[in-house]
């Protein structure tokens, strides 16, 4: 699908981005292995949601969609009835995680702990993403796992059960890896001790603790033991990663005022706000409150005179999904922005360093690729061009935001990728622009 996005005269409006994908996935998975009934509202939308829910339902989880939530009163929610791990059973066919790395890695933690045989695969992109990071420690815990390329690529097969806790030094600061091990750890004998190299999103830890999981967090070390989980209702905050596109649009467009409501403000996710603030962005954060164990707030973003910054080191895992769109912001910031220590971007849904550099270069931006990031010198001007999405939702949406700020018209090929996490994205563009 091709979308054409012309330069906007003005950006204005109130936006309610989709429910947070990371929190939704954890709410579905962990409630499926808890005891009791939970209602999850403002669940994320898009193809990744279908991937996670499809895998859980193939494992026998009872998940029903209601059009009126009896608990939160919202217009839609999912009811998940759990009977602990015993409620799940051997799937009759190969599980399909689609494009969703979170689905494959988190579900793998679960499959490793289940006393049955299962196979999980994904689309072309996911079958080429690194899985050794999960298969190796899960095998050390006792699961029998096979996969292509000596266990490093999907499809992955599992014969799980009878796990024992291990002490593990994570080689990368990945929340997907950490969560996979925590999910296996709550079914393993003894203690599972995980040392993280840096902080990454902590939604699994928060949700496990709210469900009564035996989990301790000491600095960057997590300790988990076998746990019986109790179902919890979750009202998912709006996704800060989906919000980031509008934040950058608001800062970079010369005539913009955008308000984002009910945005998740978990400190392990707010790197994008810290980076934009360091770039001198006009951002107002209001109505800070707690919802279901997660902080949320309303965020207003207005046209800004941005300055360059450096994005490197421990902040990277807290801003990892927002780096493509922040590179776009750097095109409108005075000076040279350096993004480093971000080699993980090369193994996301696409090689996001190469995809971002190619897109911004075609739009006339001054950008240079490095092995672990990029350098962008802000010129304050981009020119519409024909750009690709590389089958990656975040690249498609970054290019669309660029199209509203660049002179002339931008043609985005592969625009359908946005539906992986944000099916309403194109309608929202039409609603806020004039």
Tell me the catalytic residues. Answer: 321
Q: Are 405 and 360 in contact (CB under 8 A)?
A: no
Residue of the chain from 344, 388, 392, 416 that contacts ligand S3P (CB under 6 A) = 344
Stretch touching ligand S3P by CB under 6 A, among 123-131, 170-178, 364-372, 384-392: 170-178
- The minimum distance between CB 11 and ligand S3P, in angstroms, equals 26
Nearer to ligand S3P, 200 or 266 (CB): 200
SS3 at position 417: helix
Stretch touching ligand S3P by CB under 6 A, among 55-63, 174-182, 228-236, 250-258: 174-182
- The minimum distance between CB 25 and ligand S3P, in angstroms, equals 6
- The minimum distance between CB 284 and ligand S3P, in angstroms, equals 27
- The minimum distance between CB 179 and ligand S3P, in angstroms, equals 6
* Edge-to-edge strand list for the sheet holding 366-370: 310-311, 336-339, 373-377, 366-370
Return the biggest CA–CA distance within the chain.
62
Residue of the chain from 296, 320, 333, 345 that contacts ligand S3P (CB under 6 A) = 320
Stretch touching ligand S3P by CB under 6 A, among 89-97, 137-145, 168-176, 189-197: 168-176
# binding residues, ligand S3P (CB under 6 A): 11
- Cα–Cα–Cα angle for 320, 127, 97, rounded to 5 degrees: 80
- Residues 6 or more apart whose CB falls under 8 angstroms from that of 291 comprise 235, 237, 262
- The minimum distance between CB 193 and ligand S3P, in angstroms, equals 19
Helix 393-405 with 352-362: angle, nearest 10 deg: 20
| 86-104 exposure pattern, b = at least 16 Cβ within 10 A, e = fewer | ebbeebeeebbbbbbbbbb
Site for ligand S3P in 191-210 (CB under 6 A): 200-201
Is there binding between residue 350 and ligand S3P (CB under 6 A)?
Answer: no
Is there binding between residue 176 and ligand S3P (CB under 6 A)?
Answer: yes
Is there binding between residue 102 and ligand S3P (CB under 6 A)?
Answer: yes
- Residues 6 or more apart whose CB falls under 8 angstroms from that of 105 comprise 131, 134, 176, 177, 179, 180
Site for ligand S3P in 266-295 (CB under 6 A): none
Instruction: Residue 284: count other Cβ atoms within 10 Å of its Cβ.
Output: 11
- Residues 6 or more apart whose CB falls under 8 angstroms from that of 73 comprise none
Which residues form the interface with ligand S3P (CB under 6 A)? 22, 102, 174-176, 179, 200-201, 320-321, 344
């Amino acid at each position: 699908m091709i979308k054409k996005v012309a330069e906007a005269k003005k950006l204005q409006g109130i936006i309610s981005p989709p429910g947070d994908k990371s929190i939704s996935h954890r709410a579905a998975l962990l409630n499926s292995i808890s005891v009791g009934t939970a209602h999850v509202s403002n669940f994320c939308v898009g193809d990744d949601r279908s991937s996670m829910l499809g895998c859980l339902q193939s494992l026998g989880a009872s998940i029903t969609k209601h059009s009126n939530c009896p608990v939160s009163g919202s217009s839609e929610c999912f009811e998940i009835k759990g009977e602990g791990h015993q409620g799940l059973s051997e799937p009759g066919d190969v599980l399909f995680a689609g494009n969703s790395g979170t689905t494959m890695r988190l579900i793998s933690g679960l499959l490793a702990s289940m006393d049955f045989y299962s196979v999980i695969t994904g689309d072309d992109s996911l079958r080429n993403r690194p899985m050794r990071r999960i298969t190796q420690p899960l095998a050390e815990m006792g699961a029998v796992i096979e996969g292509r390329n000596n266990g490093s690529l999907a499809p992955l097969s599992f014969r799980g059960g009878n796990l024992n806790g291990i002490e593990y030094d994570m080689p990368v600061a990945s929340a997907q890896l950490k969560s996979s091990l925590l999910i296996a750890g709550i079914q393993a004998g003894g203690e599972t001790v995980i040392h993280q190299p840096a902080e990454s999103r902590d939604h699994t830890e928060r949700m496990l603790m709210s469900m009564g999981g035996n989990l301790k967090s000491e600095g960057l070390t997590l300790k988990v033991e076998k746990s019986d989980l109790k179902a919890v209702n979750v009202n998912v905050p709006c996704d800060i990663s989906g919000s980031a596109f509008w934040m950058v649009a608001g800062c970079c467009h010369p005539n913009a005022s955008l308000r984002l409501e009910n945005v998740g403000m978990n400190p392990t996710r707010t790197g994008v706000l810290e980076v934009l603030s360091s770039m001198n962005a006009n951002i107002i954060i209001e109505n800070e409150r707690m919802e279901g164990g997660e902080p949320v707030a309303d965020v207003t973003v207005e046209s800004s005179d941005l300055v360059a910054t450096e994005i490197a080191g421990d902040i990277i895992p807290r801003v990892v999904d927002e780096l493509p769109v922040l590179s776009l912001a750097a095109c409108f910031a005075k000076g040279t922005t350096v993004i480093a220590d971000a080699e993980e971007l090369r193994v996301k849904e696409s090689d996001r360093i190469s995809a971002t550099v190619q897109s911004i270069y075609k739009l006339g931006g001054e950008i240079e690729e490095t092995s672990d990031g990029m350098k962008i010198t802000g010129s304050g001007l981009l020119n519409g061009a024909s750009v690709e999405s590389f089958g990656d939702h975040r690249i498609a949406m970054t290019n669309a935001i660029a199209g509203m700020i660049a002179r002339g018209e931008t043609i985005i090929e592969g625009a359908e990728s946005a539906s992986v996490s944000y099916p309403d994205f194109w309608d929202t563009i039409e609603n806020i622009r004039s």
